[in-house]
Amino acid sequence: MEILGGERKNSNNNNDEENKLVEEGGGRANQPFHHNRHRIIPSNVVKILVLFTILTLSCLLLYQSTSAGKLFPNLSNLKHGNFSATSSPSTAPNKTIPSSSISMEKVVENSVEKVLEKAAMANRTVIITTLNAAWTTSGNLFDLFLESFRIGNQTEGLLKHLVVAAVDKTAYARCRELHPHCYNLSTDGDDFSGEANFMTKHYLKMMWRRLDFLREVLEMGYSFIFTDADIMWLRQPFSQLYPDADFQIGCDHYGKYESSDLNNYANGGFYYVKSNNRSIQFFKLWYKSKDAFPGKNEQDVVNVIKNDPFIKQIGLKIRFLNTAYFGGFCDPKQDLNLVCTMHANCCVGLGSKIRSLKMVIDDWKKYMGLASNEKTSKPRTWTVPRCG
């Protein structure tokens, strides 16, 4: 650049000298030629010299550009967004070059922004669940979870808005076989593929990793319903959500308190969050509070911090969801004419959850097979027992 700059400066000096010569020639035009001690260069010769100089510089620049292309063959590719690997002169022929990073296509596929964008509703709302390998084997919880959407009332269309965040590579691969919107949430050094027993160190680490991911989703401007994969979706739930709430969450038992009463005990398996500054600040507090309450899961912690003065300070509006619509095994005697979701809470062990959720599916199929007057003639309750 300095050389080119210097050449441009010399070119300007030539123009100044040219103008000076032309002016001097014009001023002496009427003088006899033999009186001049210095021979004046005609203006047409000067123009030819200037043109020659310009052409020379152009050729020089073209040569340098061509040389740069030979020295840096990837330069044009980078400018046009082509990041495909090319062999270097030192690479032996036919030798495979190991890629130091994932291909651009793979990065796009596993970009959380891209996954959310494709799955989002018009109002930038998504449904999110998390998954590990233990829940994805054939006939397991993930299959039942997806089946509930397909047999539910006005729920099948919601599958196109469902994002599955897989916490290990096996779960991610399984998700890709069954569902279009999968995100690889696995992290190096952490193996979340096995069954995580409740409140073990492994379980707690996975729950807090999940919460931190959901905070990131809010900061990207997406609202979401989070749902555990052991929740059956039997009706679309949006008509039963509170439009004025920033954060609304399910609970194990409901009926003693109003929906806005903080004495309700929250269950972290199902909640809806609007993306705004209040909810983002709340999730930051929620995640940070794990250090203040070591050994507690995110559900226990939210039941503590819901009374924190900071919640009132930021103006966060919290609501608790009625178990008549958002039910669970903790309180299974619900009316099938009302229920939207059914959660396998208060149910210990993966096998126990699967057996009970299959009963839920069977109950629902029988219910949907009834005539309209049979459905509404009396409350239709579950045959599923409590899990011990």
Rounded to an integer, the average pLDDT of 135-143 is 84
pLDDT number for residue 182: 97
pTM of the model: 0.70
Going from N- to C-terminal start, the domains of the chain cover 2-79, 107-377
Q: Where are the strands (E) in 56-138, listed by range?
A: 125-131
User: Residues 99-134: pLDDT tens digits?
Assistant: 333 333 333 456 899 999 999 999 999 999 999 998
Is the distance from CB of 186 to CB of 169 less than 8 angstroms? yes
d(CA 212, CA 205): 11
Q: Which tens digits make up the pLDDT trace of 35-60?
A: 444 444 555 655 566 666 666 665 55
CATH superfamily, with its number, for domain 107-377: Spore Coat Polysaccharide Biosynthesis Protein SpsA; Chain A (3.90.550.10)
d(CA 234, CA 341): 6
Query: Can you tell me the distance from the alpha carbon of 134 to that of 221, in angstroms, rounded to the nearest whole number?
Result: 31
Distance separating the N- and C-terminal Cα atoms of the chain = 77
pLDDT at 10 over 70: no
**What tens digit of pLDDT does each residue of 302-335 get?**
999 999 999 999 999 999 999 999 999 887 777 8
